[in-house]
A and B are shown apart, each in its own frame.
Chain A
């Protein structure tokens, strides 16, 4: 019930394309869903986050889509750039407690 399933494991996109990463969860008590970006040898950086009372949140080229009934949420990266190449992690938590992370997606954006 605490798991967060993330897919795909790896993703290759052409520059200018849309990158889409999906996550699914089981625990309906989760109430906070962040996405983190991690470059090799660095700590994760908070990219964007959403609460379940909204279905979509956009910040620049990054958008989270949230489907409460399906218990799924996704990250969309518009106009993907080579600098976006990194590992992306979705996560979830409830009541301000510990984060449960997905397995990660290694994104490669080709020039």
Chain B
């Protein structure tokens, strides 16, 4: 199966600093990646859709300037939480979609990144 990695797996930072999270598809090229946020005992909430070579599409209510997404290559997407505050503390998960023609719409998820903002 497809493997998606995330780095770091956990990060603690001070309020006001920026944190970058990387998402990589290790054995396939993903033209589309997704970024989710998950609070304890809750479902996944889609934050944005990231397409290689173009601007990300953000969901309603997600601040574009706060959550910067860059999909610079077919195997790497990054999420930067700018000027992080304690309310940004959460579990951030990325997923990568199989390219068209291989399998219908399957998304493979990374292991997640636990962000704690002090």
Residues of B within 8 A of A82 (CB): none
Residues of B within 8 A of A36 (CB): 109
Q: Number of A residues contacting the other chain (C-beta, 8 Å)?
A: 22
Do most interface residues of chain A lie in helix, strand or loop, or is the interface mixed?
loop
Give the residue of A34, A43, A45, A98 whose beta carbon is less than 8 angstroms from that of B49.
A98
Inter-subunit contact B104/A96 (CB<8 Å): yes
B11-19, B73-81, B82-90, B110-118: which lies at the A interface? Answer: B110-118
- Give the shortest distance, in Å, between B89 (CB) and chain A (any CB): 14
Closest to A102 in B: B43
Residue ranges of A at the interface with B (Cβ–Cβ < 8 Å): 32, 34, 36, 41-46, 49, 51, 89, 93, 96-99, 101-104, 106
The 7 closest A-B pairs by CB, nearest first: A43-B109, A96-B105, A43-B112, A43-B111, A44-B109, A32-B105, A101-B43
